[in-house]
Structure 1
Amino acid sequence: MSDIIGKALLDFQNGNYSEDIITYSSLGEEDMITVPYLFRAYNDMPKIEQRALGLCYGKILDVGCGAGSHSVYLQEKGFDVTALDSSKGAIRVCELRALQNTICTNIQDFYGTKFDTLLLLMNGIGIVGNLNRLGNFLNHFKSLLRPRGQILLDSSNIIYMFEQDDDGGYWIPDTIDYYGEVEFQMSYKGLKGKPFHWLYIDFENLKKYAQNHRFACELVSEGKHYDYLAKLTLRP
């Protein structure tokens, strides 16, 4: 599988930035990921991300770290943070940015170490892919948390992207199990990656799944465009 994200991040880190990542989705929209944005400093981060970083404590695992911008900030603040990503290119960039602790693997394959904070930003919970897999991921996250641990994640309710009926309801195709399940494909400098599934979950569904798996779920803050920050904590 082509490491599209990793190639783009390495190009930018090595001074070879010339174009951005193009994304295609099952929603029928073509969009772009601006590579320099993935290297943003704290002051350029959305308020939700800044709030999440301010809530971090203890030993931290940055899941789906990408270029490592959140980990860099936390390490500079003196935290014991580990940056994890399945992209070899992303992890190499994190190493070049002087992050001390990095792991290249899928989160589902990572075991053994426990943390106080699991951080999943930039819709990091999207790695779940499909709603029916969320329970398994929550159980795995539970195995990585210390007794008073927390999960900080942001996501978006993308119901606004569907047509609204006259009675206020939304028209969702019968072929979709849950409207927040989106298939993406990325291309960069003529290379095209394999399609992958990505999950956007509304807060009420997140809360329901969290409670069913013995997590307390708190809505910490909401953004300007249907996005939100949630905190999940282990119940006794």
Structure 2
Amino acid sequence: MNPEAMKLFGQALLDYHKGDHEAAITLLRDDGHRTPQLIKIFFREVQEYPLEKIALDLSYGRVLDVGAGSGLHSLFLQDKGLNVTSIDISPEAVQVMRERGVVNVHLADIMSFEEGQYDTILMMGNNIGLAETVDGLSQFLQHISNLLNHGGQVLLTSMDDRFSDDVIGIKYGEQNLESGRYFGEIRMKVIYKGMEGPVFGWMRIDPETLSEYALSAKLKCEVIKQHDDGGYLARLTHK
């Protein structure tokens, strides 16, 4: 992913951390749909998101937190005594994490990160979307697999949009299908304080498609828990 795409998001994290607790971004999709997002949710208690709390309780050993953002999950696991490595492509996010006390932080894109192997790889907040498209998913998962210790696990959250009641979102997905794209692919950009970042790709993926692509990386997929709205927690392990 282009680091510039996350620069405004990183700046919003930093502004919140420095005391602007009203900081908010807008996600502008390529169909014109706008989604406002308060930054305070990235500084919440982990208990507020049950799927993520389950994932953190299942984490063990040496942990890699991918797209760690504000360090929310890294700090929780550090406090449990786990050895956590946290990566993000945003310099501002890295600064926030370090100032909040995250110990081992790297400014890095997951696709170029090759430092060590891990027992648990976390991709919370739908960070499987870093693959951007299903066409990029096989390579993405193969790289993740290479970072995984024998017997290790990838824990990720995503959304199965087939369960969505968002009429506009469903129409967007149908337009994707008509143009040859996967239903859950998204093209959008971040707007913050009147500034617009570059367009980037993101993706929400259903469990069956995830399982299919995981097989190409010799990983098996297990859905640990799924909510009625389509949100789910999955675990990937070596076959």
TM norm. shorter chain > 0.5: yes
Tell me which residue corresponds to 2:117: 114
Correspondent of 1:98 among 87, 101, 115: 101
Superposition deviation, residue 211 in structure 1: 1.8
Correspondent of 1:162 among 144, 165, 170: 170
Secondary structure, aligned partner of 2:23: coil
Per-residue CA shift, 1:180-214, capped at 9, x if unaligned? 11001111112111110001111000011112321
Residues 22 and 38 in structure 2, CA contact (< 8 A), matched pair in contact too:
no
Find out whether 1:51 has 2:54 as its counterpart. Answer: yes
Correspondent of 1:21 among 25, 44, 47: 25
Whole-Å separation in 2 of the counterparts to 1:172 and 1:139: 25
Give runs of aligned pairs for residues 56-205 of structure 1, distance below 5 A.
Answer: 56-159=59-162, 160=164, 161-163=169-171, 173-205=177-209
RMSD in angstroms over aligned alpha carbons? 1.7
Whole-Å separation in 1 of the counterparts to 2:157 and 2:22: 30
Whole-Å separation in 2 of the counterparts to 1:38 and 1:99: 15
Superposition deviation, residue 19 in structure 1: 3.2
Superposition deviation, residue 173 in structure 1: 4.8
Whole-Å separation in 1 of the counterparts to 2:18 and 2:175: 46
Secondary structure, aligned partner of 1:73: helix
Whole-Å separation in 2 of the counterparts to 1:91 and 1:106: 12
Superposition deviation, residue 91 in structure 1: 0.7
Residues 42 and 50 in structure 1, CA contact (< 8 A), matched pair in contact too:
yes
1:202–1:17 distance in 2 versus 1, CA, 3 Å: same
Residues 14 and 93 in structure 2, CA contact (< 8 A), matched pair in contact too:
yes
Give me the TM-score of the superposition, normalised by structure 1: 0.92
Structure 2: runs of 5 or more not aligned: none
Residues 61 and 118 in structure 2, CA contact (< 8 A), matched pair in contact too:
yes
Letter of the structure 1 residue corresponding to residue 208 of structure 2? E
Letter of the structure 2 residue corresponding to residue 16 of structure 1? D
Whole-Å separation in 2 of the counterparts to 1:128 and 1:83: 18
Residues 185 and 192 in structure 1, CA contact (< 8 A), matched pair in contact too:
yes
Whole-Å separation in 2 of the counterparts to 1:215 and 1:139: 9
Instruction: Answer 1 or 2: which has greater helix percent.
Output: 2
Residues 52 and 229 in structure 1, CA contact (< 8 A), matched pair in contact too:
yes
Superposition deviation, residue 172 in structure 1: 5.4
Superposition deviation, residue 171 in structure 1: 6.9
Secondary structure, aligned partner of 1:162: helix
1:182–1:206 distance in 2 versus 1, CA, 3 Å: same
Whole-Å separation in 2 of the counterparts to 1:171 and 1:80: 44
Correspondent of 1:5 among 1, 9, 17: 9
Q: Percent identity among equivalent residues?
A: 34
